[in-house]
Structure 1
């Protein structure tokens, strides 16, 4: 803002989030084909940014902070970590709500992660926004290797799949998309 004559009220001023959404829209208009906008929790926690992308018809997969709060009835999940803890897990032999997904790292090695659709407020597997949790350990949800992801890509087989222009994305694809963002960050 300090670089513009009228600061934040200058017509040329835009926040990083507004610039990012505008670039994604312009890329689409220019014919650039991409599966989804991927972003970390600095962007993912911004309701307005997600709303701008969704309003422009752009798919996204964005991280959320584990303690990002939302309104919910007393016994319901209030944070992404609460939602993840509410998912059934009885170990690798009885996976409950979790699905094994393969995660490929920059050096080419792969590991097994676990992913699940969770519900948080109005977000859920059938909703406009899905909450996907991906982790190395559904039992302990380690902070350094657990992702809480918001996406507007519909779940395969969900009612939304037929109602949106966005192709459906299974849990493995959601993890892959965000993993690419994480992979680039490590470069």
Structure 2
């Protein structure tokens, strides 16, 4: 019996992360395409199209990547299951803050599944585009993607499709995450979900703490003799993940009498109440002080901005396929790359926190001497640092045709020496005792 060949290597920290998924792919070339897409999506390429990724990772053309997305017999559900298991293992049973939001991207034409004229959030207007409902988690400063569900407009439903609103999709996501084993410290969402009985009822069903946005004209039933009261403004310190602080103001809006649900108005300027930085929120955290409510709700806008960065940096909307089965595959790989970057957490930027026995520590101390290295904690900074580690491999792939054409042995050896150094970085993932051939370093 012929033994399958060993998969070609890319960059060590990407190979180590992708190794956990290897058993899910029916053939070596599909697994190699999976790794190369992780490499290409992480790399500093302006548009993450398959031709651009193919050049960056050293392929003659994009055919193997296209085959992987369109024909290869791998299951997106199994890849998603494995990704969520990685997150659960990392959490170790701890609770997370869950954020629900929809994301949309402009798409031309009518051939792409579920594209229709609808509200596209990042454009702030109605355009032809594709929309999904997404869930992300926050834990100890780390952000990671959880689930996404495509929104199917009524006019674009196919054969067995059943129309579901965005709030119904969000409710399904919460139910699925609960059943998988995720525990929630808090749920955050914007006014689309805060005004939805369907969504709030699911939160109440699972007894989940929440802070959700509501419209400024939000109505609450109360007896005729009762009135709406607005308390005086209270100042609190908004603390950002970077450590930066800003003054914010909030006041409670009381509909008749205080209830289990409490209502607050939050703003950056209590005199002018700027539209873009004034929010109305509803919460069942009846005993929480204003600063806790204000800072926790602030995480929603922070993560939404962060996910916008991830989308733009990793190529969420750069797919060039029209069939949703293929789009879903693309999105799931983007989610996996997003997680891979997030798992680097503080280890890559704070080598002093890495164990003394870790083989990565000395290398990281050396890497930090690079003039472009950024020690700040943001997700985008970690991505840029990882891109520095990828540069020798990516640049070698791009220049290799010239090296071979002119037989420049010394330039080739120099690139290979530098690539070998970068490959000493194993990456910060986790150790899974069930996967016998892995021994990753841990953050």
Bin of the TM-score, shorter chain as denominator length? 0.5 to 0.7
Contact 1:38 1:60 in 2 (8 A): yes
SS of 2:185's equivalent?
A: coil
Scaled by the length of structure 1, the TM-score of the pair is 0.67
Equivalent residue number for residue 142 of structure 1: 274
Residue in 2 aligned with 1:101?
Answer: 236
Provide TM-score, normalisation by structure 2.
0.31
Match of 2:305 in 1: 186
Distance 1:5 1:115, change over 3 A: same
Whether 1:20 aligns to 2:170 is yes
Structure 2 residue matching 1:119: 3-state secondary structure = strand
Partner of 1:163: none
The alpha-carbon distance between structure 1 residues 19 and 141, as it changes in their structure 2 partners (threshold 3 A), is same
Deviations along 1:57-93, one digit per CA (max 9) or x if unpaired, are 122110011122344537723xxxxx5xx323xxxxx
**Contact kept? 2:250, 2:290, Cα under 8 Å:** yes
SS at match of 1:112: strand
Describe the SS at the equivalent of 2:255: coil
Q: Give CA-to-partner distance per residue, 1:142-184, whole Å, 9 cap, x none.
A: 32222111111221xxxxxxxxxxxxx3222211221111001
Counterpart of 2:284 in structure 1 is 152
Is the Cα contact below 8 Å between 2:190 and 2:213 reproduced in 1? yes
Distance in 1 between residues matched to 2:263 and 2:169, nearest whole Å: 25
CA distance in 2: counterparts of 1:54 and 1:75, whole angstroms: 26
Q: Which residue of 1 aligns with 2:227?
A: 76
Kindly state the Cα deviation for residue 112 of structure 1 after the two structures are TM-superposed: 0.9
Structure (1/2) with the larger helix percentage: 2
Indicate the SS of the match to 1:57: coil
Q: What is residue 130 of structure 1 aligned with on the other side? A: 262
Secondary structure at the counterpart of residue 273 of structure 2:
coil
Mark the runs of 5 or more structure 2 residues left unpaired by the alignment: 1-153, 307-443
SS in 2 for 1:118: strand
State the alpha-carbon separation in 2 of the partners of residues 153 and 75 from structure 1. Answer: 23
With over 3 angstroms needed to count, the CA separation of the structure-2 counterparts of 1:64 and 1:49, relative to structure 1, is: same
Maintained 8 Å contact 1:70/1:121:
no
Contact 2:168–2:198 under 8 Å retained in 1: no
Displacement of 1:34 in angstroms is: 2.6
SS at match of 1:117: strand
Residue 112 of structure 1: aligned partner: 247
Q: How many pairs align? A: 151
1:3 corresponds to 2:3: no
Contact 1:115/1:133 (8 A) holds in 2: yes
Q: Which residue of 1 aligns with 2:4?
A: none
2: distance between equivalents of 1:180 and 1:46?
21
Check the 8 A contact 2:248/2:267 in 1, yes or no. Answer: yes
> Aligned equivalents of 2:175 and 2:278: distance in 1?
30
Give the structure 2 partner of residue 92 of structure 1: none
Deviation at 1:6, TM superposition (A): 6.2
> 1:26-74: per-residue Cα shift (whole Å, max 9, x none)?
3234332332111111211223321221122122110011122344537
For the 8 Å contact 2:237–2:248, the answer to whether it is kept is yes
Are the aligned partners of 1:54 and 1:152 in contact in 2 as well (CA < 8 Å)? Answer: no
Deviation at 1:4, TM superposition (A): 4.9
- Which blocks of at least 5 consecutive residues in structure 1 are unaligned? 78-82, 89-97, 156-168
Question: 1:113 offset after TM fit, Å?
Answer: 0.8
User: For 1:137, what is the secondary structure of its paired residue?
Assistant: coil
- The residue aligned with 2:289 is 170
Indicate the residue corresponding to 2:410 in structure 1: none
